Amino acid sequence: MITLMINNSKIKVPATSTILEAAETINITIPTLCHVSIDCLNIRRQTGSCRICVVEVEGRRNLAPACCTPVEEGMVIKTNSIRAINGRRTMLDLILSDHPKDCLTCDKNGSCKLQDLASEFDLHHLLYDGAQSKYEIDLANQSIVRDLDKCIMCRRCEVACNEVQTVGALSAVGRGFDAVVAPAGMLPLDQTKCTFCGQCVSTCPVGALTAMNQKYPVWEALNDDKKTVIVQTAPAVRVAIGESFGLEPGSISTGKLVTALKRIGFDTVFDTDFAADLTIMEEATEFIQRVKEGKNLPILTSCCPSWVKFFEHQFPDLMYMPSTAKSPQQMFGAIAKSYYAEKLGKKPEEIIVVSIMPCLAKKYEASRKEFSNNEIPDVDIVISTRELAGMLKEAGVQFNDLPESDFDNPMGESTGAGVIFGASGGVLEAALRTAADWLTGEDLKEIDFKAVRGLEGIKEATVNVAGMEIKAAITSGLGNARKILEKIQKGEAKYHIIEIMACPGGCLNGGGQPYVEDQSDALEKRKQAIYKIDKDKSIRKSHQNPDIIKLYDEFLGKPGSHKAHELLHTGYTARENI
């Protein structure tokens, strides 16, 4: 611990602190743009590139960036001197001088940190008027829009991509006025190893990186009398959508969400949790088979499309490991356009499947060619939690005042195992619940595998299942996935089953979820809500879902059948690591 003075207050802080961190201990807020803090991964990164956080340090000629200046014994700091404040105003003026002025139509309007700072500093006119950057907007992929005219070189996205996710798709390109963060060679994202996880979008403080907006194709579909438009909603959406309407993080809004979707015109409202139960039927079957044969272990869950693309680029030598089971989103679409279409007496092309997901990579996943049948995609349109909130506001839906409704049938019934897919560790726990029953031939009562739960980036557990010691690993954040997979490559670790989710904390923290200031608090509350829904369910095991049982009896036969493989399984492709 060392002693220093901040604004005439004497404090003691750890010697490893920065000035920004020291100021936080006495509730002094220093504005920042480039500072990155991801509590669930214990990551705090200070690039010092924006210079918005400058402070005055006694004895130093130049202002110091608080986010990356380490404290020293006896240091005397002023965060609120006129010199520091004017320094920040100058930096804001310079950043704004090369920034588009289309705030009213920008996707980040209302959630832009640069906009907030301009308001906070009462900037109503610009001191500097000079050249403006001009780049072509990258619209080549289904998930992420890049508008480099709005890049302020804060490099937060670079930290998210390279340090948190270790994807390595983004870096600083150019020098001086021409400097931006972009892929090498200024390639569009779809020609790189980008996984479309959307963490760069979540961390971008301005509108340089935003989600590809699919709201208007949904509105068009809803107004097409020749189409039957059905919607599925992912588990993580129901514990986050309320935040867009002022509710506390973790507010369980399942019933209101169903009512809202019916109000805006969907013909039927189904639950992705149904397809999560279906995924477990196939994935648990595959897991048991591999364990009994002792081959192709560990099995890797493959529900996360961002993780799958990461694997295809970065670990093609381990291609035998992932489960061949499709994700719940894609299983839902395949069943909707076969089993459900038959029930309706409709052709697959007469049905439009819309997904509401917490994840931007799901937009990319739906566009993959292997997830279509006779060139008819399993899932037609994917929108994020944020996009749905925008649609409801456009339609004047008073979300908080809505009554609760139930999902439609037959693809609306789900179990507790299905809903926990939204949290890190949930897919693995759901699989263990079913595998344990099937291996013992019993209806086991102890089904809470709490060792696999939590927001930690890497969790390891040994679970007793039917007398077998099953070694499991759970990771969230692709950087953590890399650590586990590299240990396997080196022969330093052996597991039976691994769950990987691309986003830190799992789908609860997907790139399409509502923007939040306190990420760790929101994640914890969303997680608690997910497990509360699970605990309150009357059925908590996927194989006991009566509509899943009926689906197999009437249509699929049994888990792992030929028809199940045709509709519910897929393969993966090694890709260039560029």
Which is catalytic among the residues 49, 244, 323, 327?
323
Q: What is the pTM of this model?
A: 0.91
Instruction: Answer yes or no: is 58 within a domain.
Output: yes
Domain, as residue range, for 83: 2-97
3-state secondary structure of 239: coil
Cα separation, 190 vs 192, in Å, equals 6
Which is catalytic among the residues 150, 337, 362, 541?
362
Residue 276, pLDDT score: 96
248 and 196 within one domain: no
Instruction: Answer yes or no: is 562 within a domain.
Output: yes
Residue 246, pLDDT score: 92
Please say if 365 is a catalytic residue. Answer: yes
Where a domain ends, among 45, 76, 97? 97
CB-CB contact of 431 with 301 (8 Å): yes
Residue 123, pLDDT score: 85
Tens place of pLDDT for every residue, the chain, 578 residues? 999 999 999 999 999 999 999 999 999 999 988 887 655 445 556 677 889 999 999 999 999 999 889 999 999 999 999 999 999 999 999 999 889 989 999 999 988 999 999 999 888 888 888 788 899 999 999 999 999 999 999 888 998 999 889 999 999 888 888 888 999 989 999 999 999 999 999 889 999 999 999 999 999 999 999 999 999 999 999 999 999 999 999 999 999 999 999 999 999 999 999 999 999 999 999 999 998 888 889 999 888 999 999 999 999 988 889 999 999 999 999 999 999 999 999 999 999 999 999 999 999 999 999 998 888 999 999 999 999 999 999 999 999 999 999 999 999 999 999 999 999 999 999 999 999 999 889 898 888 888 888 888 899 988 888 888 889 999 999 999 999 999 999 999 899 999 999 998 899 999 999 988 777 788 999 999 999 999 999 999 999 999 999 999 999 999 999 999 999 999 888 888 76
Instruction: Answer yes or no: is 272 within a domain.
Output: yes
Please say if 492 is a catalytic residue. Answer: no
259 and 384 within one domain: yes
Instruction: Answer yes or no: is 555 within a domain.
Output: yes
Please say if 283 is a catalytic residue. Answer: yes
Instruction: Answer yes or no: is 13 within a domain.
Output: yes
256 and 183 within one domain: no
Residue 248, pLDDT score: 93
Residue 44, pLDDT score: 59
230 and 328 within one domain: yes
Residue 278, pLDDT score: 96
Instruction: Answer yes or no: is 114 within a domain.
Output: no
Which is catalytic among the residues 56, 286, 456, 499?
286
- Residue 45 neighbours by CB distance under 10 Å: 19
Cα separation, 572 vs 522, in Å, equals 34
Which is catalytic among the residues 21, 158, 283, 312?
283
Read off the CATH number of the domain in which 50 is found.
Answer: 3.10.20.740
Please say if 460 is a catalytic residue. Answer: no
Residue 38, pLDDT score: 57
152 and 277 within one domain: no
Read off the CATH number of the domain in which 156 is found.
Answer: 3.30.70.20
Instruction: Answer yes or no: is 578 within a domain.
Output: no
Give the Cα-Cα-Cα angle 519, 524, 527 (nearest 5 degrees): 120
512 and 392 within one domain: yes
259 and 205 within one domain: no
Which is catalytic among the residues 161, 197, 303, 304?
303
Q: Could you give the number of structural domains in the chain?
A: 3
Residue 304, pLDDT score: 92
Distances (CA, A) of 312 to 60, 67, 195, 495: 51, 36, 10, 20
Cα separation, 501 vs 456, in Å, equals 12
Which is catalytic among the residues 507, 525, 527, 542?
507
334 and 206 within one domain: no
Q: What share of the chain is helix, strand, coil (3-state, %, to 5)?
A: 40, 15, 45
Residue 479, pLDDT score: 92
Instruction: Answer yes or no: is 574 within a domain.
Output: no
Q: Which amino acid is at 461?
A: A
Read off the CATH number of the domain in which 255 is found.
Answer: 3.40.50.1780
Which is catalytic among the residues 58, 370, 404, 554?
370
Please say if 507 is a catalytic residue. Answer: yes
Cα separation, 463 vs 470, in Å, equals 5
Cα separation, 148 vs 150, in Å, equals 5
DSSP assignment of 321-343 equals: SB--BPPHHHHHHHHIIIIIHHH
Per the structure block, which two tokens stand in for 241? 């959508």
Per the listing, tokens 């381990």 go with 318
